[in-house]
Structure 1
Amino acid sequence: MPLSAAGKNFARHGSSEHTKMIARRAAHAEESAEVEVLFANVKKMKAVTRKMEASMARLEQSGRTVQEAIGPVYGNTQRLQTQNANITRIQEAIDKFREPLDMRDREERVLRSRPDRVGLQEYISSMDRTSQALRNLQKTNMRANQQTIMELTELLRIGTENLEGVFRDMLREDSQPIEPLKQITTGKDYPRISSTKSGRLSTVNQHIAKYSSYATQPGDLPPSAKVYAHERGQYIMLSLQNLATASKSTARKIDASAIYRQGSNGIGSYAQGLQGMYLAEYDNIGLIFGRDEVGAVMQATCLSSLTDFSSTLRDLDAHVRENMLTDCYLSYEIIEVVSSMSHQLEGKTGELKYALPEALKPGRETAKSSLSFLLNDTRTKIQQMQALPVDGSSIPLTAEVMTRLQLMTAYLPPLSSIMRSLGDGGWSAPNTTSSTTSIPTIKSFDVGADGKTLFAHYAADTLDTLLAALEARSRSLLRGRSLQGVFLANNVCVAERMIRTSELDPLLAATAQPKLDAWRKKATQAYIDAWKEPSTHLLDVQFTAKAPRPPSTGAAVDSGAILKALNSKDKDGIKEKFRNFNASFDDLVAKHKAYKMEAEVRRALGRDVQSFIEPLYNRFWERYHEVDKGKGKYVKYDRQQMAGALAGLG
């Protein structure tokens, strides 16, 4: 039957609820089944867990058993690994230690061979490797390496010596002695080592110097420098040997009394050759050695040739001292030559700045002493003269002394130098043969003194010494003032003439000429003194009391009137005066003509006598010539005759 709406709704609602309930029940049943499954699984897991725990317990027990069994084996394995690593390192150290030994054996075969056999470059490379190995060993500071260090050091020493041999052989190729006279006469350059060979020598020298610290003492010359100094030093010395011999032989003269002629000795060529070879050698050294080595190498290279040069200078100095009068000029020439050479070398290299002046020192002292020696010799020779020319002529010594001064003008530079060192007038000190040293004086510090002025003073002192000694000796050996005056005047004339006709003239004009003028005046005065005796007969001081004094000049004189005023006694006195004057005058004229006078002296003395006698005679003649009435019995000379006679004296 049909249901009502409520019933329908209840039926619909109830049916729905019933459906939901059935669904829930189904879900619960499903979930229950799943729970049951889960519980079953849990049980299984627990069973598995128990089994796993049992297995783990067994595994742990087994692990402990295994660990207890394998533990010692593992420890031994680690120790073996460490020991093996240590052995490997020790082996490496041994190999490294043996490496220098193996290298030493290899390099020893090279270094003990000659460089020309293995090749110079390979030889140098071997030395480089050896040196590097030596430095490495020295850094280890191991006692076990000391023997190897010594052996490598010895190898470097041997290598250095072999390089020295190469260096020496290369030098000897260009070190054959030459004859410098060829360069001196032709003006050609002195031979030098080629630039190519200089470069090779420089390379070898650098490597020798690099390793020389293993073979030389500190401060010593490097081996290559010693080799160079020996080889090139011998080359220079042997090349100059003939010039040294020529310098000594040319000092000896055939005539021992002959005066030395400038340039006749070989010392100039010797010095020129020495200078040229030194300059060439300085260029060579500069291309081969370092800048800091050049000076020491140059000095060592020049040592043997400088020693020979010094020996030659000493021999020449001994010759000069034995022949001072004739060969003192050689000492001046040596000073000039060596000083010039020293100056030229110093301009290029200063290494020989002190060596050459030291070599010249003995000769310089001899040259200094020669100045006083010559003065003393002049004085001594005159004092020892036993006779002088009775005709009043000059003596040869005067010409000799003036010749000395003339010759000295050719050596003004060296003379100026030694005179400055002596000081103005220092040559007047007594001549000594003391030593090679001289004590300086205050005057010797006058470095600004003019050399020509000093020479002029020396020449003036020489003239003074000569003429003073001659005057003193003439007073002892010559009778009569007139003869003494003529003698002195002749010697003054010779000196003056030799000055005027030589290089002395411009040098002595201001200094020596006044001295010569004074000596000439003294000679003239001595000669005129003899003419005072006849002049005394021409002096008239007699006047009559009544007659006026006759005029002496100007107005004409009446000789007859004057004589008329005299008494017979006075007239006889006038006659006697004329007679005495004539005798004395004739005697002096005869003596004057008998004297041997230089032309200039004869003219000068004749003029002086004329100017002295003629005015006196003319005055006396004008007053009293009528005493013999022109018969010439008493009045031998009239005015014209007297003038002619006096003019004839010149």
Structure 2
Amino acid sequence: MAVIARRAAFAEEAAEVEVLHATLEKMKSVRKKIEGSMTRLNESGRTVQEAIGPMYGNTQRLQTQTANIDRIMEAIEKIKEPLNMRDREERILRARPDRVGLQEYIASIDRTNQALRRLKTTNMRTNQQAIGELNGLLQVGIQHLEDFFRDILRQDSQPIEPLKQITTGGPYPKISSKRSDQLRTINQHIATYTAQHPQPGELSASAKVYAHERGQYIMLSLQNLATACKSTARKLDPNAVYKRGSNGIGSYAHGLLGMYTAEYDNICHVFSREQWPVILLATCQNSLVAFASTMRDLDAHVRENLFTDCFLAYEIVEVISHISLQLEERTGELKQPISDALKPVRETAKGSLATLLNDVRTRVQQTQSLPVDGGPIPLTTDVMTRLQLMTSYLAPLSSIMRSLGDGGWSTPNAGTSGSSIPTLKSFDVGADGKQLFAHYASDTIETLLSNLESRARVAIRNKGLQGVFIANNVCIVERMIRSSDLEPLISATMQPKLDAWRKKATQAYTDAWRECATHLIDQQFTSKAVRPPSTGAAVDSAAILKNLNSKDKEAIKDKFKNFNAMFDELAVKHKSYKMEADVRRALARDVQNYIQPLYDRFYGRYHEVDKGKGKYVKYDKQSMGAALSALA
């Protein structure tokens, strides 16, 4: 059974193998058929490729040619486009902006400018003519914009009279906001065109137009103020001293400040930040030239009338310096050109200090004669009045004196440009201006009194009269210091010097009285007689005279006679002298304090020499006191 079973299994497997062999044979037959089909297909593909290849190459070349033709057509259209738009834009640009409208006109310029840039990038010869035509058309458009820019400016550039703003404090007129916006828009487009054609160192076309039109407006508006400065400087009385505020320089300066600051605001609204300084300077140039000319004219007037009108120079320096600082704060510009214009007047003001000081010496020495009664001379009042007036100009004088340096006014030709090498003192910008003025005033008064003393020694032989003369002038100086703004400025430094001058004058005057007092000095020989009692004890005149011999008694009589004669003569002279009230009282007090004690002593010892007859002893103690008091 097992054998039968194996044989059955082998038979089944053999049958399966037979089936597989049959299937394999079929697959081989199919493969051969496929290979034959692939061979035939390859042959067919080669045949097709050989037939279609030339046709495909021709198609590609045709496609490339078509693309090239399309690009050429596009290029032709681009070339034709600027030429076509030129005609369209030319109609706009050859008209004026006010006819076609500013926005449309500017848009046309922008389109033209853009087309021009595109043409320039092609570098095609055929475009050169078109480039030239568009350039010319663009220039026409820019020129029309400039003209329109000018027309807009002129609408707000009619000259004004600044006196209205000066007196009322009202604002200075500015360009309206609507027109400023138009000007800014026009300027931006003109600046864009100018940037493509740069000219180093020059303003843009619109900036030039602005500077010219507004510059004329400012100059014409300030013209009357400049004329007023010159006319108010002239005086009917050539000897009249200038009064503060009587010249038109204050109005002129405020007009400059108002016009320039208003113009700066206009410029800031129209132009770009980097252009503000140069356009402001260009706009103000004409009016600055006129201002400098006015300063030169005023300087010439001051130099011709320096002793009366130096105060005008001080006022000009003060006013213009203040305006210059305000302009610098508001605009950051114009300080230097204004300082340059002020320079002639400032130099004259600096030189005036030395000139005025020298004038004091000259006028004293040129005085032909001094008062025979010892009275003061008008020069003293003139000099002190001048110093009093100077206190009204401390601000400019402080600046001037700081530039000269302490004592610089004593240098010959002080203040003239290039006259001396600057010293360390002249750079002491922190110096106290009031202190410098006090030194100058002190130098002036010292110069006056020392020269008066020298002149008095020559012109007045009487030493007492010399003392009266000096004392009178010192008194006027002191009184005019106390009664003015000079007192807080120079009193502390000047009073010790005045006291020294007063003492010197008093000594000169009392010298004659000292000579008179010599007659009240007697000789006492204590070895021959009992020493007289000291002051306060009773003195017996009769007893003293009893101890004298006849010769000594005669000498005492002569002393009384000589004293009386000299005293009366000096008293008469004293009353004949012209003295200031304070001087008379002071000198009388000094004389009394010196003579009275000596006379009382001499009288107490020797009044019995004429036994009350009054032949030799003219004054008793009471009458002498009254006579001395009457000197005041």
| TM-score using structure 1 length | 0.86
Asked whether the 8 Å contact 2:404–2:415 carries over to 1, the reply is: no
Deviations 1:88-127 (A, max 9, x none): 5434323322322222232223212211122211110110
1:360 aligns with 2:335: no
CA offset at residue 544 of structure 1?
6.0
Q: Which residue of 2 aligns with 1:316?
A: 298
Q: Supply the AA of the counterpart residue of 2:251.
A: S
- Give the Cα–Cα distance (whole angstroms) in 2 for the partners of residues 80 and 611 of structure 1: 142
Q: Which residue of 1 aligns with 2:96?
A: 114
Cα distance 1:371–1:74, how it changes in 2: closer, same or farther (>3 A)? closer
Q: Which residue of 2 aligns with 1:196?
A: 178
Q: Which residue of 2 aligns with 1:417?
A: 399
Task: Look up the SS of the partner of 1:510 in the other structure.
Answer: helix
1:463 aligns with 2:470: no
Q: Which residue of 1 aligns with 2:140?
A: 158
- Give the Cα–Cα distance (whole angstroms) in 2 for the partners of residues 152 and 201 of structure 1: 25
Q: Which residue of 1 aligns with 2:620?
A: 638
Q: Supply the AA of the counterpart residue of 2:517.
A: S
Asked whether the 8 Å contact 1:379–1:469 carries over to 2, the reply is: yes
Q: Which residue of 2 aligns with 1:276?
A: 258
Q: Which residue of 2 aligns with 1:31?
A: none
Partner residue of 1:490 out of 472, 477, 480: 472
1:93 aligns with 2:75: yes
In the alignment of these two chains, the number of paired residues is 590
CA offset at residue 137 of structure 1?
1.9
Task: Look up the SS of the partner of 1:613 in the other structure.
Answer: helix
Q: Aligned residues: percent identity?
A: 69
- Give the Cα–Cα distance (whole angstroms) in 2 for the partners of residues 595 and 552 of structure 1: 38
Asked whether the 8 Å contact 2:162–2:221 carries over to 1, the reply is: yes
- Give the Cα–Cα distance (whole angstroms) in 2 for the partners of residues 148 and 553 of structure 1: 130
Cα distance 1:456–1:434, how it changes in 2: closer, same or farther (>3 A)? closer
- Give the Cα–Cα distance (whole angstroms) in 2 for the partners of residues 544 and 82 of structure 1: 158
Asked whether the 8 Å contact 1:496–1:516 carries over to 2, the reply is: yes
Task: Look up the SS of the partner of 1:240 in the other structure.
Answer: helix
Equivalent residue runs for 1:1-80 within 5 Å: none
CA offset at residue 218 of structure 1?
3.1
Question: After alignment, is 140-149 or 235-244 more displaced?
Answer: 140-149
Q: Which residue of 2 aligns with 1:260?
A: 242
Q: Supply the AA of the counterpart residue of 1:373.
A: T
1:408 aligns with 2:362: no
Equivalent residue runs for 1:216-235 within 5 Å: 216-235=198-217
Q: Which residue of 1 aligns with 2:459?
A: 477
Deviations 1:144-187 (A, max 9, x none): 43343333223222211111111111111111111100111111
Asked whether the 8 Å contact 1:157–1:215 carries over to 2, the reply is: no
CA offset at residue 543 of structure 1?
2.5
Equivalent residue runs for 1:418-433 within 5 Å: 418-431=400-413
Q: Which residue of 2 aligns with 1:242?
A: 224
CA offset at residue 622 of structure 1?
0.8
- Give the Cα–Cα distance (whole angstroms) in 1 for the partners of residues 389 and 130 of structure 2: 75
1:579 aligns with 2:561: yes
1:590 aligns with 2:549: no
Asked whether the 8 Å contact 1:589–1:649 carries over to 2, the reply is: yes
Cα distance 1:626–1:116, how it changes in 2: closer, same or farther (>3 A)? same
Cα distance 1:357–1:97, how it changes in 2: closer, same or farther (>3 A)? same
Asked whether the 8 Å contact 1:425–1:458 carries over to 2, the reply is: yes
Task: Look up the SS of the partner of 2:233 in the other structure.
Answer: coil
- Give the Cα–Cα distance (whole angstroms) in 1 for the partners of residues 242 and 574 of structure 2: 39
Q: Supply the AA of the counterpart residue of 2:361.
A: R
Q: Which residue of 2 aligns with 1:351?
A: 333
Partner residue of 1:102 out of 70, 84, 95: 84
- Give the Cα–Cα distance (whole angstroms) in 2 for the partners of residues 437 and 485 of structure 1: 40
Q: Which residue of 2 aligns with 1:140?
A: 122
Asked whether the 8 Å contact 2:230–2:297 carries over to 1, the reply is: yes
Cα distance 1:99–1:632, how it changes in 2: closer, same or farther (>3 A)? same
Q: Which residue of 1 aligns with 2:361?
A: 379
CA offset at residue 542 of structure 1?
3.3
- Give the Cα–Cα distance (whole angstroms) in 2 for the partners of residues 292 and 92 of structure 1: 44
Q: Which residue of 1 aligns with 2:22?
A: none
Equivalent residue runs for 1:286-297 within 5 Å: 286-297=268-279
- Give the Cα–Cα distance (whole angstroms) in 2 for the partners of residues 78 and 596 of structure 1: 134
- Give the Cα–Cα distance (whole angstroms) in 2 for the partners of residues 218 and 430 of structure 1: 48
Task: Look up the SS of the partner of 1:310 in the other structure.
Answer: helix
1:185 aligns with 2:167: yes
Q: Supply the AA of the counterpart residue of 1:405.
A: L
- Give the Cα–Cα distance (whole angstroms) in 1 for the partners of residues 177 and 418 of structure 2: 44
Q: Which residue of 1 aligns with 2:10?
A: none
Q: Which residue of 2 aligns with 1:45?
A: none
Cα distance 1:591–1:309, how it changes in 2: closer, same or farther (>3 A)? same
Cα distance 1:176–1:215, how it changes in 2: closer, same or farther (>3 A)? farther
Q: Which residue of 2 aligns with 1:549?
A: 531
- Give the Cα–Cα distance (whole angstroms) in 2 for the partners of residues 538 and 394 of structure 1: 33
Cα distance 1:363–1:323, how it changes in 2: closer, same or farther (>3 A)? same
Q: Supply the AA of the counterpart residue of 1:169.
A: D
Task: Look up the SS of the partner of 1:531 in the other structure.
Answer: helix
1:616 aligns with 2:620: no
Q: Which residue of 1 aligns with 2:517?
A: 535
Deviations 1:445-474 (A, max 9, x none): 222211111111111111000000000000
Cα distance 1:596–1:552, how it changes in 2: closer, same or farther (>3 A)? farther
Q: Which residue of 2 aligns with 1:26?
A: none
CA offset at residue 325 of structure 1?
0.3
Q: Supply the AA of the counterpart residue of 1:168.
A: R
Unpaired runs of 5+ in structure 2? Answer: 1-39
Deviations 1:198-253 (A, max 9, x none): 22221122112121224551342111111111111111110110000000011110
CA offset at residue 79 of structure 1?
7.5
| Max Rg structure | 1
Q: Which residue of 1 aligns with 2:11?
A: none
Asked whether the 8 Å contact 2:364–2:451 carries over to 1, the reply is: yes
Asked whether the 8 Å contact 1:537–1:577 carries over to 2, the reply is: yes
- Give the Cα–Cα distance (whole angstroms) in 2 for the partners of residues 358 and 109 of structure 1: 52
Question: After alignment, is 607-616 or 443-452 more displaced?
Answer: 443-452
Asked whether the 8 Å contact 2:222–2:255 carries over to 1, the reply is: yes
CA offset at residue 389 of structure 1?
0.6
Asked whether the 8 Å contact 2:348–2:416 carries over to 1, the reply is: no
Question: After alignment, is 424-433 or 493-502 more displaced?
Answer: 424-433
Unpaired runs of 5+ in structure 1? Answer: 1-52
Task: Look up the SS of the partner of 2:492 in the other structure.
Answer: coil
| TM-score using structure 2 length | 0.89
Asked whether the 8 Å contact 2:350–2:416 carries over to 1, the reply is: no
CA offset at residue 193 of structure 1?
1.6
- Give the Cα–Cα distance (whole angstroms) in 2 for the partners of residues 645 and 147 of structure 1: 121
Q: Supply the AA of the counterpart residue of 2:172.
A: Y
